[in-house]
């Protein structure tokens, strides 16, 4: 006997998603997926399937990817010991070569392969393409009393999002690697959250979703239940001041702040390990991770996870 599923369940789901689809059609969502997502083909496909649904209902989706774990793995195989300081990779000349090979080559192309399989018209670009991310080499900086020369790490001067607008206008989905360059064409490594935030601000995105391995922003890293459901820029600063944010969460917090100050309405920090977290965030009132807005008191309770 073949068991039939109840069609009313699907119809109810469609009805409840319809107001969100109406609200977000034509709006820009920047989705940033960390390298951890692309560790295996199944989690890659699960992520791209969700992104595909956003794209197919008419949301202008820009997918920005990381690739930190993959980079560390290849560095190690070449006898280079990865060094991260305050969540950013110290990048010598050889490591910069590895960065463009792994991010522009391996990870970007793997994503495009899945997009082909799922029949999404996606185009791979990096910050280098058509002057998308204009950056300069970060000068040596003091981090916790130590002078750190990050090498070929870039700081963003300007995002020229024309190429992304053109792709979006043509119904294509840009898949962006964060590898960037200065005006002389020197390649620079930039944290993917930082690039995603810059793109979000340049496109005045409705949402920036930072899809990561963490369940969201935690009040205490040692306690996975201490997840903060929603906060604002003042709350984020408080978490930073009390030392709750460490390592990779430091560039993420800076990226969140830059995105919101640049005009992104809502930033979501969600886990790729949580089932359908992107769709839940976009099409329901029940977010799974942390929502950050400019000022929480301006939100009604009903809005706090919309």
Ligand X SMILES: Nc1ncnc2c1ncn2[C@@H]1O[C@H](COP(=O)(O)OP(=O)(O)O)[C@@H](O)[C@H]1O
CB of residue 93 to ligand X2W, shortest distance in Å:
14
189 assigned binding-site residue: yes
Residue 34 or 180 with smaller CB distance to ligand X:
34
CB of residue 125 to ligand X2W, shortest distance in Å:
16
The answer to the question of residue 244 lying near ligand X (CB under 6 A) is yes
Name the binder of 22 from ligand X2W, ligand X, none, CB < 5-8 A by kind: none
Burial class (CB in 10 A: 0-12, 13-18, 19+), 278: buried
Q: What is the rounded distance in angstroms from the CA atom of residue 123 to the CA atom of residue 168?
A: 10
Reference 107, options 28, 40, 200; nearest CA is 40
Residue 98 or 167 with smaller CB distance to ligand X:
98
SS3 265: coil
Q: Could you give the string, one character per residue 53-82, with x where binding to ligand X holds by CB under 6 A and - elsewhere?
A: -------------x-x--------------
Per-residue H/E/C for 37-104:
HHHCHHHHHHHHHHHHHHHHCCCEEEEEECCHHHHHHHHHHCCCCCCEECCEECECHHHHHHHHHHHH
The answer to the question of residue 102 lying near ligand X2W (CB under 6 A) is no
Q: What is the DSSP annotation of 267-302? A: EEEEETTSTTHHHHHHHSS--SSEEEES-GGGS-GG
67 assigned binding-site residue: yes
Residue 248 or 262 with smaller CB distance to ligand X2W:
248
Task: Using the rule CB under 6 A, give the single segment among 21-29, 182-190, 240-248, 295-303 that binds ligand X.
Answer: 240-248
Per-residue DSSP letter, 130:
G
Residue 55 or 88 with smaller CB distance to ligand X2W:
88
Reference 151, options 108, 91, 99, 226; nearest CA is 91
Number of residues that bind ligand X (CB under 6 A): 19
Binding interface with ligand X2W (CB under 6 A)? 34-35, 66-68, 71, 88-89, 99, 153, 178, 189-192
Residues annotated within the binding site for substrate are 67-68, 89, 189
Report the interface residues with ligand X, using CB under 6 A.
Answer: 34-36, 66, 68, 87, 212-214, 217-218, 221, 244-249, 252
């Amino acid at each position: 006997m073949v068991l039939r599923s109840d069609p009313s369940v699907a119809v109810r789901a469609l009805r409840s998603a319809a107001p969100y689809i109406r609200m977000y059609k034509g709006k820009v969502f920047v989705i940033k997926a960390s390298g951890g997502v692309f560790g295996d083909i199944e989690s890659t496909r699960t992520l791209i399937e969700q992104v595909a649904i956003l794209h197919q209902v008419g949301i202008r989706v820009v997918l920005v990817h990381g690739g930190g774990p993959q980079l560390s793995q290849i560095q190690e195989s070449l006898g280079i010991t990865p060094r991260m300081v305050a969540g950013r990779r110290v990048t010598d000349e050889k490591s910069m070569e590895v960065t463009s090979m792994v991010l522009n080559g391996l990870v970007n192309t793997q994503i495009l392969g899945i997009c082909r399989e799922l029949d999404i018209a996606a185009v791979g670009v990096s910050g280098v393409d058509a002057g998308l991310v204009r950056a300069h080499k970060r000068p040596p900086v003091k981090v916790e009393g130590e002078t750190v020369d990050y090498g070929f790490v870039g700081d963003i001067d300007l995002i020229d999002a024309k190429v992304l607008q053109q792709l979006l206008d043509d119904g294509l989905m840009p898949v962006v690697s964060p590898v960037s360059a200065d005006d002389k064409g020197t390649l620079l490594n930039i944290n993917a959250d930082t690039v995603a935030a810059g793109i979000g601000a340049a496109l005045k995105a409705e949402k920036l979703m930072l899809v990561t391995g963490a369940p969201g922003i935690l009040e205490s890293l040692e306690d996975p239940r201490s997840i903060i459901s929603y906060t604002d820029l003042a709350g984020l600063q408080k978490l930073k001041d009390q030392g709750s944010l460490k390592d990779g969460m430091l560039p993420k917090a800076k990226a969140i702040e830059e995105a919101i100050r640049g005009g992104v309405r809502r930033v979501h920090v969600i886990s790729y390990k949580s089932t359908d977290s992107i769709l839940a965030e976009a099409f329901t009132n029940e977010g799974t991770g942390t929502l950050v807005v400019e000022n929480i008191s301006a939100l009604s309770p009903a809005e706090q996870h919309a």
